[in-house]
Amino acid sequence: MHSILLVDDDPEILAAWKAILLDEGYTVCCARNGFEALERLRESVPDLVITDWMMPLMGGAELCRQLKAHPDLAHVPVVVHSAAPPCAEEVQTWNACLQKPAPMKIFLTTIERLCKDDRSPI
């Protein structure tokens, strides 16, 4: 099954979505901010990254920029899942944006769609 890196500074959100995604058959790794996410990405490249936008130390905007700037990570699709989504002027470095609280059906459908897309590097 597909692997997901879930990034959020709220431990309750991490625990809830991790449980739901595990129940759906995904492999899930968690990080509490962008710095931790980059550490996890050095260990293993997931099929999808789901990140909050507003986090301490390194938020979602910088994490997305770092991912797209790294040749081995640029192909990994990103879902922004945040109560404070990116502004319209922000350069889009993500594949989908869902505002918290996203309905579970939309959240899971978005994940399934992005995991099925063939985004492997040429």
Predicted confidence (pLDDT) per residue in 51-91, tens digit: 999 999 999 999 999 999 999 999 999 999 999 877 777 77
Res 1: pLDDT:
84
Topology adopted by domain 3-116: Rossmann fold (3.40.50)
The dihedral formed by the CA atoms of 65, 108, 75 and 97, expressed in degrees to the nearest 10: -30
Beta bridge partners of 80: 51, 97
The alpha helices in 4-78, defined as continuous H runs, are 11-23, 34-43, 60-69
Q: Which residues of the chain form beta strands (DSSP E)? A: 3-7, 27-31, 48-51, 78-82, 96-99
Q: Could you tell me which residues come within 8 angstroms of residue 84 by beta carbon, excluding any fewer than 6 positions away?
A: 53, 54
Res 120: pLDDT:
42
Domain residue limits, the chain: 3-116
